Structure 1
Amino acid sequence: MRLCFPTSLMTTVKTLLGLPGLRLRPRAGSDLLDRPVTRIYVTELSDPGRYLSAGELVLSGLLWWREPGDAEPFVAALARSGAAALAASGADSGGIPDDVVDACVRHRIPLLEVPADLSFSVITEQVVLALAAASDSARKRLQAAADAPVETLLERASAELGLPCWVLSGFGRVVAGTSPLPSPGADVVRRYAAREPGSLTVVPVEGRHAVPWLVLVGGPLSTAQTELAEELAGLVGVTRARSPRPEAELPDEARVVALRTEGSEESEDVLRELLPDGLLLESAGDTAYAATTLRPSSTELSTVEPLLRAKRILCGVSDPGPRAEAWESARYALEVASRRRITVVAAGEVGAHELLLAGAPDGLRAALRRRVLGPLLDYDAEQHADLVHTVRVFLECSGSPTRAAKALHVHVNTLRYRIGRAGELLGADLTEFAGQLDVYLALRMEE
């Protein structure tokens, strides 16, 4: 029988020895009394291993013990599970057998002798009451730091839990922590979003912010520890909500980031969390702009996307430059990202013609494409040909018949004939730069 109870987060085996009226006496493991206790498990099984978990105080009347040697599998099971201690009454009132004491010494399990006249129900009742009061004290001590910074809250919680604590942004940024995070923050967020188990306990911080913060605790938690971690998450949420955003001071030639959250109006919150050093320039619905010294990556956005209401997050990033020019460059890069269905597009990595085309309305793009390519499109439709593709490959090969023929797996003379026929239909000389330029831009307008 297992009894879980609210536990003081610093409760140890030594704490139990000090409870009045129990008269527990250590028989082995006196140097191990600082082990934390999380719950009580009462058993008379000879091998309770599959039912045990770490931190349990195991109570037993030793009814399973018959002769020397019986203690070995029982105590070994306690050691494998990480049990905090064994509290036992004498077998058949004859005291605890030496076999049990020796096994506890070998396996480093604290052994507490329970007086023969004391029932396990009394032990359970007193322990539960005492530890419930201590657990309430732990929450009150944490609540007393409610007005403190996040760093102080984590220090208090870590002291109560006996475990390291962190606050992580939904982008994987460590907001604060009591020790170095054992794994990359982005990996922790991805596992949390995918509901994959991990070595850290994750408690979400509730609030109105689009990008969540997460409280992390370094290990599995008991029920009472989980309650304290949830209390910590609530206090962190309050602290986050009331914390003023620092005013950024950026040089005139900072880069501009344009961000769009398709399907929601979370862009401002996402951009502020993505760029903690950024200066918000404008926010309107699903699109926001900020000046920054940082450059976001597709990895950061893909990490947080599963946690948001937005169907997709797109981002355009300018090169550093004068504010007005950077703004326009970021805006056009955002449109390129939308048309390419790519998360992040940096203006410096996009051809000038793409940035110009990105600024053209869809109706104008369609009209220009039809005006330039109309005869070729009609011919392909009527003849079930593919001259449009041939022309595209030819131009992407810088107008080289040899390279284009190789890419299309045709003879170079066949390629020259097709390009000549396409030129006739278009009324353009596709071997000249001017003719190539108009047709190439028209081809790119469909993207």
Structure 2
Amino acid sequence: MTTVKTLLALPGLRLRVRAGTALLDRPVSRIFVTELPDPGRYVSAGELVLSGLLWWRGPGDSEAFVAALAKAGAVALAASGADSDGIPEDLVEACTRHGIPLLEVPTDLSFSVVTERVVLALAAAGEGARKRLLSAATEDASVETLLDRARAEIGLPCWVVPAVAPADLVRRFVAAGGRTLESGDVSVRPVGGRQALPWLLAIGGALTSAQAEIAEELAGLIGLARTRADEVRAVTDRVLEPLLTALDEGSDPHAALTATGLRGDLRVVVARTEGSEAARGILTELLPPGALVGPAGETTWAVAEDDGEWPEDWPATVTASLSTVESLLPCRRVLIGISDRSPVSVLRGAKEVARYALAAAAERPGTIEVVPGGEIGMHRLLLAGAPDELRAALRRRVLGPLLSYDAEQGTDLVHTLRVFLECSGSPTRAARALHVHVNTLRYRIGRASELLGADLTEFTEQLDVYLALSAGS
């Protein structure tokens, strides 16, 4: 069991107790990073809260923050100084008053280091094989370090290939059924761990039985290193949750956005993995470094910076990559919607664009569907923002007589009218599309005009009618 006292003994952290010395035996379940002045709704019981005190502006600010931690069941607060004077005294007093142990983090220590060491300590406290394998990996055993050691042991080149990489090895591995692939020039095996998208361990050459045993152990350790990195990232990415909440609730997102560290123009991405909760893992693999990805689930949101170099072919590239490993995916379908590049001022609108792009992807038949917001017509995006009841009322107001006529006479003038407008009001093109004589088409459009009391040769009236037609689709 990992306690607050355990964390004080972690090498290199140099944490100093400032309050709550008698409360250090509390068990720690997770770590949560926040800079919100009232983080209560995002903190869970048993969590160690890590903060750089960016929310602190002066004496008195600490009371609400610490009270929220105590109410949520946080076990301790680890903080670095809000200014050159170190930890504010009112924070020490508030932690003492509310029974929250306060640990001072050295100002020269990166929060990413603190997070990684804590997550590793929590993981190492696990039982069974996981604990033994993690103990076998040294504290700094990154994937590259493990590969370096394996190269020395095996005497052959070793490298990791993400399953979404456009590599021939991936296609050969998939063709082999997703199992170990042995050929004259390379040995490929899946990296251990339950991941949404697998990594492959490639070793350049045929392996002896002893080398194969080392390769199997290496694949397992790389899987554990990846899991550790994913757990650390999941903690860091939780800073995105308040921003997503603010966008959904229509509140001011600027404070939450500042805490994320995202700058400049942004893109909002949403993924849905039907039949599994793999959306987060898939987005984590596909999005560029620096993107923040929301919690795991069947649907997961992400926000990424776009400095103007976002690849225009990203949807096509992602579709091709996922299609290559389709047989290895842990879900029935992968649907992704992505907004246009947007400034912060319209971020809420960008989220809606991504949401509607995801809905458009769901309407398509493929197993892998990635839809950019730019593919969605402006009128459909505007209609998507209107409540269902309003769209139905407007459709009935504009098309009511035509809908009633079709129902009574068994005709389909609504469909004829839609085709006519989608053919830019050209009787010849519409007649060809409907496989009728052009005079028949003109008669039907004339009848529709009479019923609607509209001049369907006028652009503004065509626009009103087309919007009404689209409101029902």
Among 258, 272, 277, the alignment partner of 1:265 is 277
Once the two structures are TM-superposed, the CA of residue 394 in structure 1 deviates from its matched residue by 0.8
Letter matched to residue 271 of structure 1: L
- 2:303 is equivalent to residue 290 of structure 1: yes
Q: Secondary structure in 2 aligned to 1:410? A: coil
| 2:227 aligned with 1:254 | no
Tell me, yes or no, if the aligned pair for 1:171 and 1:189 is still in contact at 8 Å.
no
Task: Report what 1:328 is aligned to.
Answer: 352
The corresponding residue for 1:242 is 228
* Residue 234 of structure 1: how far off its partner (Å): 0.6
Shift of the 235–284 alpha-carbon distance from structure 1 to 2, 3 Å rule, reads closer
Which of 331, 335, 339 aligns to 1:318? It is 339
Alignment partner, residue 253 of structure 2: none
The whole-number CA distance in structure 1 between the counterparts of 2:448 and 2:180 is 55
Distance 1:201 1:376 in 2: 67
The alignment status of 1:215 with 2:208, answered yes or no, reads no
- Which aligned pairs between 1:10-159 and structure 2 lie closer than 5 A? 147-159=140-152
Q: Tell me, in whole angstroms, the C-alpha distance in 2 between the residues paired with 1:188 and 1:419.
A: 57
Shift of 1:250: 4.6
Q: Does residue 413 of the first structure (1) align with residue 425 of the second (2)? A: no
Matched with 1:354 is 380
Closer, same or farther in 2 for the Cα pair 1:364/1:282, shift >3 Å?
Answer: farther
Indicate conservation of the 8 Å contact 2:337/2:361, yes or no. yes
Q: Secondary structure at the match of 1:334?
A: helix
**How has the CA–CA distance of structure 1 residues 315 and 144 changed in structure 2, closer, same or farther, with 3 Å as cutoff?**
closer
The aligned counterpart of 2:330 is 309
1:290, distance to aligned residue in structure 2 (A): 1.8
1:194/1:238 Cα in 2 relative to 1: closer, same or farther (>3 Å)? closer
Alpha-carbon distance in 1 for matches of 2:178, 2:435: 45
User: Which residue in the other structure is 1:187 paired with?
Assistant: 171
SS at 2:357 equivalent: helix
Following TM superposition, by how much is the alpha carbon of 1:418 offset from its aligned partner in structure 2, in angstroms? 0.9
Give per-residue Cα distances to partners, 1:148-168, cap 9 Å, x unaligned. Answer: 332232233344445433212
In the superposition, relative to structure 1, how do residues 198 and 221 fare at CA in structure 2: closer, same or farther (>3 Å)?
closer
- Structure 1 counterpart of 2:334, one-letter code: I
Q: Which runs of 5+ in 1 are unaligned?
A: 1-139, 174-182
Letter in 1 for 2:285: E
For 2:249, the equivalent position in structure 1 comes to none
Whether 2:212 is the aligned partner of 1:226: answer yes
What letter is aligned with 1:410?
A: V
Structure 1 residue 400: Cα displacement: 1.6
* CA RMSD of superposed structures (Å): 3.5
Match of 2:321 among 261, 277, 300: 300
Retained in 2: the 8 A contact 1:332–1:356? no
- Check 1:202–1:332 CA distance in 2 against 1; reply closer, same or farther (3 A cut): same
- When residues 233 and 368 of structure 1 are mapped into structure 2, their CA distance, relative to the original with a 3 A threshold, is farther
Partners of 1:184 and 1:340 in 2: how far apart?
A: 29
**What SS does structure 1 have at the residue aligned with 2:289?**
coil
Quick one: structure 1 residues 194 and 378, their matched pair in 2 at CA, closer, same or farther if it must change by over 3 Å? farther
Give the structure-1-normalised TM-score: 0.56
Alpha-carbon shift at residue 387 of structure 1 (Å): 2.5
Q: Distance in 2 between matches of 1:202 and 1:361?
A: 52
CA pair 188-291 structure 1, distance change in 2 beyond 3 A: farther
Residue 428 of structure 1 is matched in structure 2 by 454
Amino acid at match of 1:333: A
Contact 1:387/1:418, CA 8 A, preserved across alignment: yes
C-alpha deviation, 1:417, in angstroms: 0.5
Superposed counterparts of 1:366-377, under 5 Å: 368-377=394-403
Using the TM superposition, give the Cα deviation of residue 390 of structure 1 relative to its aligned residue in structure 2, in angstroms: 1.8
Q: Which runs of 5+ in 2 are unaligned?
A: 1-132, 238-259
**What is the aligned partner in structure 2 of residue 97 from structure 1?**
none
Alpha-carbon distance in 2 for matches of 1:225, 1:341? 45
Number of residues of Structure 1 aligned to a counterpart in Structure 2: 297
SS in 2 for 1:290: strand
> In structure 2, what is the equivalent of residue 76 of structure 1?
none
Aligned to 2:425: 399
Q: Aligned AA for 1:310?
A: C
Change (3 A) 1:313 1:371: farther
Give the share of equivalent positions with the same residue, in percent: 59
| 1:134 aligned residue | none
Aligned with 2:353: secondary structure? Answer: helix
- Deviation string for 1:197-256 (max 9, x for gaps)? 785543222324333222223455454443322111111012112234488965321322
Q: CA deviation at 1:300?
A: 3.1
Post-superposition offset of 1:382: 5.0
* Distance change >3 Å, CA 168–CA 281, structure 1 → 2: closer
Closer, same or farther in 2 for the Cα pair 1:434/1:352, shift >3 Å?
same
CA distance in 1, matches of 2:362, 2:275: 13
Does 2:370 align with 1:344?
Answer: yes
Cα distance, 1:395 vs structure 2: 0.6
Question: Which secondary structure state, in structure 2, belongs to the residue aligned with residue 265 of structure 1?
Answer: coil
Structure 2 vs 1, CA of residues 361 and 212 (structure 1 numbering), >3 Å: closer, same or farther? farther
